[in-house]
A and B are shown apart, each in its own frame.
Chain A
Amino acid sequence: MIKMEIVKKDNYIYELKDEKENKYTLNLDFCDIEESPKVGDYIYISAELLNPKYAGYSTSYTFGKLENKYGKENISINDIDVIKVVINNLEIYQKRLYG
């Protein structure tokens, strides 16, 4: 997983920055969470989800809790579709939701 800092947020548009100062802009929706991540929080995300060559790549992702019925069942936390969101030092694992 790649550690990304949220450097800018405008509604669903998140501007992320990795440790090598590379910037990414993604449209992200976080479900099953009281508070969406904000500027200064971190998202750990697999390299595949950032790579346009990856078959499942999108510029827009929806994430929800690991048990959410709209994503892969019995998902491993090492799956490409799993992210870790760190909000106020609290780590939350979420998975990509489909549809």
Chain B
Amino acid sequence: MKNGLEDEFKNFIYNKVDVEKETPEIIEEKTPYELMEEVGYDLYECTTEEEIQKFKRYYKKGEELCTFGGGRLNRCVVFWAVKKDAEDIKREDFKNPQREDEYGTSVMGIQFNKTGKCTVSIKNRYNHTVNNPDATYGNDLDKIIPGLEKSFATLLQKEHGLELNSTNIENFQIPSYTVANNGKYYKFNMEENGIYYCPGNIIIENGKPKQLENTETQILIDYFILDMKNKTIKLYDDKLEDSFIDYFKNLEETDAKIKIEKNKEKGTRKITIQKSQDESITIEIDKNNEIIGYNNPNFKKTGDDFLEFNNKLNQLEAPNLESTGDAFLSNNQGLTQLKIPKLPELSGKFSKIIEKNLGEQKNKNGQIINSEIIAKLDKKNKLTTTEINIAKKIIEKIRGLFRKKDENKR
């Protein structure tokens, strides 16, 4: 909600369910043929190779679909959508092909897998002359005409016994969220080399989400895995390099003790690694398991890329640190406190970031009620859009009153 996507999100949800009507109207569903007719297309289903070959004439030489190579009917239900004036839309008039331009969408192959997950592929008239030609309109049938996906779903169920599955279509984007191949949205802390590191000890690799094997003894912190049982801190992705782990090498060969304490008030956790009586390091993590604090009175130098991809660290205390490698905290934007007294120059490099963050902390006003709370109420109490809008107006009035009060105080 803090991304200002409330309206978009609500539209996304309310498109799925009509919450305002208690008794839904029964509207006779139009067939895909009727819907396509409304937007100027003739729709054909092909049930033989001969029928498929009749559409080859619409394609420029070198841009024909591989469907014409034969055998597609073995695995797909095949339709063609042809604009009524397709013959008049000439390829030579389109010098700069764009996938969804008039030519590209004038003749579309619409195919549905018959085996496995029944998903749609909308094939472009340009074929591989444009990027991702098998995903015209992002394979979102409703972009051709609203209601088309549901209409095809009905037809496929009735006539082919297939259940249309749209889990591979991404139709809503939220910053800092990624869609895994199970169709679910996952908040992620960071992404490196195509691997997403998420709160809750979840890693998404190649679209596949998985949780750490043993969440009782392992924690995913940033892009490292802390294994308390085996006493290791390692990078999940061995293609990355980060000297943060160097200090913890061979920890498993020592009598080191690792403990975790929760700070309920701050919502954080402190990991203490007691290497020996005199050697104790603490790592503080936030509720998303991102490293926000690091206190190591013992280490004197770091290698390259120390916490290179971390951007949330706000406190670092290393009183004996004398030298660092390249890219030390190079992506950090969160520092408010940096205690490295033996490296005053390096300290100076981060002074602007620290100043900015400290300034922002002072100006931050708490919110009494925000959109996130409204969305939760909405879900629980099935509020109508009108009720939500009235509630929003009341909240804005209250905020306005508080703002005036603050201004008067000043």
Contacts and interface: CB of A to CB of B under 8 A. Distances in A.
State yes or no: do A and B come from one complex.
yes
Interface of A: 2, 10-13, 18, 20, 22-25, 27, 29, 31, 47-48, 50-53, 55-60, 62, 64, 68-72, 97-99
A22 B134 CA distance: 26
Contacts of A2: 206
B207 A52 contact: yes
Interface of B: 62, 64-69, 71, 74-75, 109, 113, 115-117, 119, 121, 123, 127-128, 131-135, 168, 170, 178-181, 194, 205-208, 210
A70 B115 contact: no
Nearest to A25: B116
A10 to B, nearest CB: 7
A60 B121 contact: yes
Nearest to A56: B132
Contacts of B65: 70, 98-99
B135 A31 contact: no
B208 A98 contact: no
A64 to B, nearest CB: 7
- Residue of B123, B178, B205 contacting most chain A CB atoms (<10 Å): B205
A57 B168 contact: yes
Given A58-B135, A99-B66, A99-B109, 12 more contacts: A23-B208, A24-B208, A29-B71, A48-B194, A50-B208, A55-B131, A58-B134, A59-B168, A60-B116, A64-B66, A70-B128, A99-B67
A27 B117 contact: yes
A47 B208 CA distance: 11
A29 B75 contact: yes
B164 to A, nearest CB: 12
A12 B208 contact: no
A98 B99 CA distance: 13
Contact of A51 (B127, B132, B194): B194
Contacts of B62: 69
15 contacts: A12-B116, A24-B206, A25-B117, A27-B115, A27-B116, A52-B180, A53-B178, A56-B132, A59-B119, A60-B113, A68-B66, A98-B127, A99-B66, A99-B67, A99-B133
A98 B135 contact: no
**What's the dominant secondary structure at chain B's contact region?**
loop
A59 B113 contact: yes
Contacts of B127: 70, 98-99
B181 A52 contact: yes
Contacts, number: 108
Nearest to B68: A99
Given A12-B75, A58-B121, A70 B69 contact: yes
Contacts of B170: 52-53
A35 to B, nearest CB: 16
A20 B115 CA distance: 27
Nearest to B66: A70
B60 to A, nearest CB: 12
B167 to A, nearest CB: 8
A47 to B, nearest CB: 5
B116 A52 contact: no
A69 B170 CA distance: 30
A10 B134 contact: no
Contact of A99 (B71, B128, B205): B128
Contacts of A24: 181, 206, 208
Contact of B133 (A51, A60, A98): A98
Nearest to A10: B115
A53 B330 CA distance: 27
A96 to B, nearest CB: 9
Contact of A56 (B119, B131, B180, B194): B131
A27 B181 CA distance: 14
Given A99-B66, A99-B67, A20 B116 contact: no
Contacts of A23: 208
